[in-house]
Amino acid sequence: MKVFLGDKLVDEQDAVVSVFDHGLLYGDGVFEGIRAYNGRVFLLDEHIDRLYDSAKAIALEIPMSKSEVSQAVVDTCKANGISDGYIRLVITRGKGTLGLNPFLCKKAEVIVIAANIQLYPQELYDTGLKIITVGTVRNHTEAINPRVKSLNYLNNVMAKIEAINAGCMEGLMLNAQGQVAEASGDNVFAVKNGVLTTPPSWCGALEGLTRNKVIKLARNAGYEVREDVMARYDLYVADEVFLTGTAAEIIAVVDIDKRQIGDGKPGQVMSELKALYEECTRTEGTSIA
């Protein structure tokens, strides 16, 4: 496998960073998870824009232009023969001291990995997920804003641990006010009487790019979509609930906290939007060729 590191492609065994890198020591950095479909990188421009926004929010200077980072993503896919796969684009603060001061790190590190991923077994895409509400509260928006896709994912990891320990593959996270935020790694949608609702980012949800694409597709298909505050009650009584994310794509939730959602099967609205989304992935994106 070839990995883009710094400013060039290197062999996997040579893709190493310093133990003094603040990405390792403090989770100081940002990242994007990106999909490639049918020889194209999907939503690449949007991912790059969000990466630079996240970096700006934490005062991290990326030592490459947007076009150079985009080209690094495409080149890494090409070098690894990736036509359909998953790309992890990482920007660390870089090598520094054992102190917290990020301004002692001279240059940020750019890393691109192109490989494969399957977040959930195919069976769960067919039958839907059963999830629980976890006790780990989503980070407060003024502690670390959810729109910053940072390397420090411990909040989400703790939620994932709770879910797995309870026998589920995913967990629902609430914010400090008890409102629905997101799942440990995906955005949440509910459908009630044909209206879609998803939490706004200020409730603790990442402004996901798959989420945004689904909102656009739903509105173009004639559905009303609301970004609104949600309680668990709104999910319990919904006709459908589903999750969206770059790695997860679109997957139904059929049971939350032992409450069956709708008829306990993936719903019609989700299935329609999933088909529309999959059509986009077949035809849109930045060419890898």
pLDDT digits 0-9 by tens, 159-178: 999 999 999 999 999 999 99
User: Do residue 137 and residue 154 come from a single domain?
Assistant: yes
The CATH number that applies at residue 71 is 3.30.470.10
Looking at the chain, the whole-number percentage of residues with pLDDT higher than 90 is: 97
User: Do residue 105 and residue 238 come from a single domain?
Assistant: no
Gap between the Cα atoms of 41 and 287, Å rounded: 6
Looking at the chain, the whole-number percentage of residues with pLDDT higher than 70 is: 100
**Number of structural domains found in the chain:** 2
Range(s) of the domain holding residue 23: 2-115
Residue pLDDT, tens place only, 19-75: 999 999 999 999 999 999 999 999 999 999 999 999 999 999 999 999 999 999 999
User: Do residue 143 and residue 34 come from a single domain?
Assistant: no
78 lies in some domain: yes
DSSP state of 21: B
User: Do residue 162 and residue 103 come from a single domain?
Assistant: no
Last residue of a domain, one of 115, 143, 159: 115
User: Do residue 84 and residue 138 come from a single domain?
Assistant: no
Averaged pLDDT of the chain: 97
Residue pLDDT, tens place only, 131-155: 999 999 999 999 999 899 999 999 9
User: Do residue 215 and residue 260 come from a single domain?
Assistant: yes
User: Do residue 261 and residue 127 come from a single domain?
Assistant: yes
User: Do residue 134 and residue 58 come from a single domain?
Assistant: no
**pLDDT band (50, 70, 90) for residue 224:** very high
Count Cβ atoms below 10 Å from residue 275 Cβ, excluding itself: 11
Last residue of a domain, one of 58, 89, 115: 115
User: Do residue 83 and residue 185 come from a single domain?
Assistant: no
173 lies in some domain: yes
Give the closest residue to 256 by CA, choosing from 125, 169, 131.
131
Last residue of a domain, one of 99, 115, 131: 115
288 lies in some domain: no
Residue pLDDT, tens place only, 96-120: 999 999 999 999 999 999 998 877 8
Find the DSSP H helices in 133-196.
154-165
pLDDT (0 to 100) of residue 237: 98
The contacts of residue 286 (CB under 8 Å, 6+ apart) are 40, 41, 44, 45, 70, 74
How confident is the model over 280-288, as a mean pLDDT? 97
* pLDDT for 289 beyond 90: no
70 lies in some domain: yes
* pLDDT for 6 beyond 80: yes
* pLDDT for 122 beyond 90: yes
pLDDT (0 to 100) of residue 75: 98
The CATH number that applies at residue 266 is 3.20.10.10
User: Do residue 72 and residue 133 come from a single domain?
Assistant: no
* Residues classed as catalytic: 149
User: Do residue 242 and residue 132 come from a single domain?
Assistant: yes
User: Do residue 100 and residue 219 come from a single domain?
Assistant: no
- Cross-strand pairs, 36: 41, 85
pTM: 0.95
pLDDT (0 to 100) of residue 212: 98
How confident is the model over 194-203, as a mean pLDDT? 96
